[in-house]
């Protein structure tokens, strides 16, 4: 059983935080041009999950969830190895 766990975790790639930040900075430019922004809340290397918070005009936009799933997630998965999923931060 331990061999299986080691093998499955060996196949997972850690998210390169510098590359993630650099890619988010490029995405951020487009969002800021429209009065919005995106902030990295957390990065779960084990599961490849990146949690982001939309801010400014993006926070109240009806297309924010679409932008996150079809835009930001697609770009991050394509350009940052290890990213499997992008999810919004939960508002409390």
Look at 58 and 8; give whichever has higher pLDDT. 58
In this prediction, residue 11 carries a pLDDT of 55
What domains can you pick out in the chain, each with its CATH number? Answer: 2-88 (3.30.300.130)
Q: Taking the model in full, what pTM does it have?
A: 0.80
Q: What's the pLDDT band for 91 if we cut at 50, 70, 90?
A: low
Encode the chain in three state secondary structure.
Answer: CHHHHHHHHHCCCCCCHHHHHHHHHHHHHHHHHCCEEEEEEEEECCCCEEEEEEEECCCCCCCHHHHHHHHHHHHHHHHCCCCCEEEECCCC
Look at 24 and 92; give whichever has higher pLDDT. 24
Percent of the chain with pLDDT over 70: 86
Give yes or no for residue 76 having a pLDDT over 80. Answer: yes
């Amino acid at each position: 059983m331990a061999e299986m766990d080691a093998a499955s975790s060996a196949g997972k790639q850690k998210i390169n935080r510098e590359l993630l930040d650099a890619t988010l900075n490029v995405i951020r430019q487009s969002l800021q041009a429209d009065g919005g922004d995106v902030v990295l809340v957390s990065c779960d290397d084990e599961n490849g999950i990146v949690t982001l918070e939309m801010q400014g005009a993006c926070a109240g936009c009806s297309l924010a969830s679409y932008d996150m799933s079809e835009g930001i997630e697609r770009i991050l998965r394509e350009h940052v190895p290890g990213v499997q999923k992008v999810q919004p931060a939960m508002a409390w």
